Structure 1
């Protein structure tokens, strides 16, 4: 199905006016989009909680050691790379919001539908599902392997046979008691309070990194959560949501940089890819190290329910887009996703390697390739315009980064 300006989106039944790009950039929402946003949000999520949710999505993307990267690239090289990724991520969000205003759609999947018809929607939804399942499984794998060790450091003597030191048992209890109930919440805005708690955990990591530093994500992928957060924002507008994004990206950049810098200055050339292992090796049973490790694990844990929302929505969009909301369907899809990620975390020992390839491809698509490609397809601006040229640069950058990342991962596998 080819969707064009001034046409009817047959699947969603939305009419999109043939507005010029300058008109689409207006701060006021189109009436159709405004109605859709008001339908989805009640009463609306505050600016601060939206920032916390978006920061939680940003800092919960990927598993890379920031200090290890700084040790290999240098402080200046790392700063340039981190700033480049942050600016490009913010710009790609700007393109997504522009397309959201122009097309009156409120989901990443529908942007794919509007740009390339049903195949576009399926590709976007499938990419979101794969990326989010991989991310959630990776986080749960960290919980399974690191949580028992963190608890054991507070104990003396041999407690190895006790249930609270068994990773699988702890994982199941945590998922049933924390992850599943939070993931069942009907609106992503409700997680703003837990996201704020996760933010303060991250700040604690950064401030005490002279002693301990979490293994945090070197990534600014938050695009699957952008539109759900946008839909529930109080007084939603493109400018207000862009301010939410810029604030979240800036604070995330600050935490990333401080954490990486202090971790690097602690170990220099002996930095490990996961710093907590290094601190546990050199400072066993240190109270500060143990406390930070627990905080890092809780921060990772509180990210998992947030990632449930775009994953569940992608499943809904693929298979149940024409059905009204049902609590039974909502419950069953959440339960199925929870079971899948728990089983993967328990029974796939090398899940981080498996999803390293998936993450390098899907994350690159969601943060760089799709926003650039969709904007080039949907915008009627001249190709030499700054925004369209920027979209083209974003697309090419994403293709190069994705292929380069995959090549490095495969080369590393061959060497090992």
Structure 2
């Protein structure tokens, strides 16, 4: 079942590219645009279905995971270890993006004028200040947070509820049963939704190629290839870091997350892969209470691909306009991005808002971000897949540190089941 689903995804990708090329080649611009709009409807519906289930799925699984901890001290201990890994991974991702973009200088040859007439997406950057970020952590209403899919606020509320349940002597068995049953129901709903993934992938790729053509990279080839090279380097670092902690078990881990990473890449949404990772990691020995605790936090605090993109794209934009930052300014930019890149999971193209906030801080026009919009979807595919890899490695590492990784002989020969 797992292998057949992977084949369906690959087939959908190939068919999507061929269909998009045919529409782009044989139709005029208006006809291709209309066809792309119709095809994109499939992907839009799929992503709306994903967003429909994310909030209750995150809440129920996180509450259940925390409530199964022995006590509040366990929650704190695991939380500290998890955040230590997240902060380290964030620093590596940001620094790697900065170093590679400085070496490659992908924007140096564009020589764009300082003033660019372009239309940037309207977005508020107020929430990305330190004060805005801290106050945004706490929901005024959990129902409002769920209605708006505010993952970070849902995580905060779930941590309080789960910790309170864990602190009770009887652990509120009625509540625990309700939460666990709700989580099981949401996973079953997810199973139904995921069956539509190949259709969504076909629609997403076909609509993109239909409007932009196979030469969509154009003059941005160096930028795109450089970014993907930086991501490949980050994947290598994550693999090595995982190998140091997990040993040879890092290989089945990466084998297991191939399909979720491919799904995230194809749909340009790490959310789409969340339920699949949640289901797959326990099948390779990462115990459910660790997965249910680490993954929701990771989707708010550990977006390795997005952070890599923030430094890479910000410096690309500055290079394209001949802006040079001093070493101290670059260091401060890394610290600024470390704060502003947190809690952006589930927000479409939130990396663009973070980059806009950074440009604004340095007194540069927000409209400059327009030069990356043409290829942002292709880059979003890569960073979404990287986010999935980073969070999967984090969950396995924390499980190993906590002694919550099942012995290999207990799972040997057990092929990890997936939702498909």
TM-score, length of structure 2 as denominator length: 0.31
Superposition TM-score, scaled by structure 1 size: 0.32
